[in-house]
Amino acid sequence: DDRLVVMADDAHIGEQSSYLLSRLDQEGLNFSMFGSTNGLRVQSSINTRFVIASDDDDYINITVRELGNIAARKNNMFLYTTSRVRNSLDAEAKHLYNLHTRLTAAYFIDYSDDEVKDFILKYRSLFNAEPGSFAFQGYDAIRYFTNACAKFGKNWPERLPEYSERGLQTDYKFHYRFGNPGQINTAVRRIIYNRDMSTQLQ
């Protein structure tokens, strides 16, 4: 019974937005489309789930801010988006929390995780400094590929699709690239922004 609303900016529907809209059509999902929040009515009796189809950072920023202001007065609005929204949002992350945002990202560090805490403590003791995102990225990459090498031996590059692993910041799940040599990491993390200003991995 939930309602799906696509916020679309006709002037900035690029490759990613077109792909999103085509996938929604392929899945047979019913949705209504709005260019702005003007005329948008959110019913209190059902959940309204929003997706933004635009490749323009300014449009994304304005739309999230306007939806977030509405969501501050309602508790039944949900935004589904990618990590791009974090780059386009002008330091107003509160809107992501108001919108119960479900964000898909290639990387995310859950600082409440025990392994992450352990890594930070060990990093501090070795380097007398705080680990940045590159420290987590390097650790995850080295751990994944050395484990793959240990598991499969010299043929490990061809067998990566058989081996997935969860890292501290990045997950690994390789697939062969259609029509191209090599493989691509398709693993993503889904982050939930809660109304109490906390975040969690799904």
For 148-199, write each residue's pLDDT tens digit. 999 999 999 999 999 999 999 999 999 987 777 789 999 999 999 999 989 8
pLDDT digits (tens, 9 = 90+) for 12-53: 677 878 888 888 889 988 999 999 999 899 988 899 999 998
Residues facing 165 on adjacent strands: 172
Q: How many Å apart are CA 164 and CA 146, to the nearest integer?
A: 13
Residue 91 scores a pLDDT above 60: no
The whole-model pTM stands at 0.80
Beta-carbon-side half-sphere exposure of residue 105 (alpha carbons within 13 Å):
20
